[in-house]
Amino acid sequence: MAKRILLIEDEPNIAEAIRFILSRAGFGVDIHSDGRTALDAIAARAPHMVILDVMLPNRSGYDILRDLRAAPQTRTLPVLVLTARGQKKDRELAERIGANRFITKPFANSELLRSVIELTAP
């Protein structure tokens, strides 16, 4: 059974590119684009990991990550933060609140795929 990834990304071109990359590698990818309903989407889909954009409509990816880490059922869910905000302070904040990985846009396809494989490994 394919590992399921939930990609929370509001830019359609980026979302489709990531879906293509990960699907070719055998992952199932669902896409969600709204920050306000992201936690509901995670609960409904129960993914093996989440790829989370920071700048989302209606709610920040950082706020979503904080809530994921505060809830017992998602405390250990692997989260890769993928963002155009690549300053040192952004990386430090993401790591401090519980991101497993941090990748900046534009990203290398190989780096993204390698990170997803590592984060979903048993």
Interval 57-86: pLDDT, tens: 999 999 999 999 999 999 999 999 999 988
Interval 31-47: pLDDT, tens: 999 999 999 999 999 99
- Provide the whole-model pTM: 0.96
Map residue 107 onto helix, strand or coil: coil
Query: 4-50+61-84+96-112 adopts what CATH topology?
Result: Rossmann fold (3.40.50)
Instruction: Classify the C-alpha dihedral 47-4-40-103 as positive or negative.
Output: positive
Query: Which residues, in sequence order, are CB contacts of 53 under 8 Å at separation 6+?
Result: 8, 9, 10, 11, 61, 81, 82, 83
Across-strand partners of 80?
51, 101
